[in-house]
Homo-oligomer: A and B are copies of this chain.
């Protein structure tokens, strides 16, 4: 009879094999966005479909279920939070979720969302929600079926089952709780900012910024905060992303606008933050939960921390601004650090989430969270989304989208079936601030370090306290372990109040 160690090795080998094949898909997906010629699209779809199907087959191999059962009483599963117990717990979690989903439903969701994304793109281009409405209705129905198949707590709701895929262990009620608290402080802050007499000169950022020098500067900044270009790359895509292929190979992308500084610079810092997390995962645990990212929210916390809490801090620019002026003497030669720093921290309500500032961004997310929760609960019909969206948007932002392309059609997520994904963005902001506060308490004056261009201590701290844990803890427990407190909106509000009130000259 095989020993528990043998069974465990067998299990890990199976799980790792599926992950290794999945990482091949990542390479093909990256190439599709970066270098693939247009003619390759159809064959690439066939390749990716084959890899996805085979990865799913290996990941749902019934032998994995048997091995999990055979190991459930062994000592390997005993010691909570031990390496083996974590892997067994998390492999079981994702395996059980996978096998609960009928193959037919998985294929139907895949088929419908592939078509729906095409129709969404067309509808957005035409700014015509009615063309997308029947697709949204169909997807909502399928996601309701998915939620019913996966199941959720008796005192919970269907949306929990969807959220759980991206933020394991988190419930709608918890999210709503922290969002409500955050909202109650964001709204007055935004109102104060809008009423402030001091306002930034954002035209500073829309001068001429040669693409080549933006690329050089972005690469320099990514390397400065610790992204290892021996183990990664930075390329150009229409929609920036970060894709970790596995140990030693993480790909970032960005886009350059020759007449706007922020999108590539802060986009590069953002993706580098994701990349630092990928590069910090345990190489020896590749393919297992211990070597995988904790949750989407935690992933986002890393990108947001480097982009905003580090990258928009005054200390960062005290170090980096001279270099930036040298790169763009005509655009910035006579602009003061204060004016530049104020400009990159401008807060203004706007229609498009991905272009939003740090204050209004969270309001964008809350709107989507509430609406998609209502859709899944059946409280709102797909056809009513434009009205509901615009009413809520006007209430929250004081402006009304003139068309659906700038409103409820702007994001790809719903057409792709990604219900439960949006809240992880705002959770990421909150995690980031809470982690950053803990890091500051433990590492001393971070600003002083940034002023000297020293980012290694913060990165080492993140490696040790977050990256190397993989999925040892679920996100909310990780927050407690790292900061000693449960998730709260206070660290984020401290950040926002601490940065924006002085800038805007408000109390």
Contact = CB atoms under 8 A, between A and B. Distances in A.
Contacts of A54: 21, 54
A23 B43 contact: yes
Nearest to A25: B24
Interface in A22-57: 23-24, 27-28, 31, 35-44, 46-47, 50-51, 54
A289 B174 CA distance: 58
Interface in A228-251: 228-233, 235, 245-249
A17 interface: yes
Contacts of A190: none
Contacts of A35: 35, 233, 235
Contacts of A39: 228, 230-232, 247-249
B233 A42 contact: no
> Which of A31, A246, A248, A249 has most B Cβ within 10 Å?
A249
A20 interface: yes
User: How often does this chain occur in the complex, in copies?
Assistant: 2
A204 to B, nearest CB: 33
A20 B53 CA distance: 13
Nearest to A279: B39
B230 A42 contact: no
Contacts of A230: 37-39
Contact of A17 (B31, B38, B50, B247): B50
Interface residues of A, number: 36
Contact of A46 (B20, B36, B38): B20
Given A233-B35, A249-B43, A24 B28 contact: yes
Given A28-B27, A31-B31, A51-B24, A44 B233 contact: no
Interface of A: 17, 20-21, 23-24, 27-28, 31, 35-44, 46-47, 50-51, 54, 228-233, 235, 245-249, 286
B36 A249 contact: yes
A43 B246 contact: yes
A229 B20 CA distance: 31
Nearest to A286: B43
27 contacts: A20-B46, A21-B51, A23-B43, A24-B24, A24-B28, A27-B27, A27-B47, A31-B31, A35-B35, A35-B233, A36-B249, A37-B230, A37-B231, A37-B233, A37-B249, A38-B230, A39-B228, A39-B230, A39-B232, A39-B249, A41-B248, A42-B247, A43-B246, A43-B248, A43-B249, A43-B286, A47-B246
Nearest to A40: B249
Contacts of A248: 37, 39-43
- Top 7 closest pairs, chain A to chain B, by CB: A40-B249, A39-B231, A39-B248, A43-B246, A40-B248, A39-B230, A43-B247
A231 B50 contact: no
A76 B212 CA distance: 60
Contacts of A46: 20, 246
Nearest to A38: B230
A340 to B, nearest CB: 32
Contacts of A245: 40, 43
A197 to B, nearest CB: 50
A47 B42 CA distance: 23
Given A21-B50, A42-B247, 15 more contacts: A17-B50, A20-B50, A24-B28, A24-B47, A24-B50, A27-B47, A31-B31, A35-B35, A37-B229, A37-B231, A39-B230, A39-B232, A39-B247, A39-B248, A42-B248
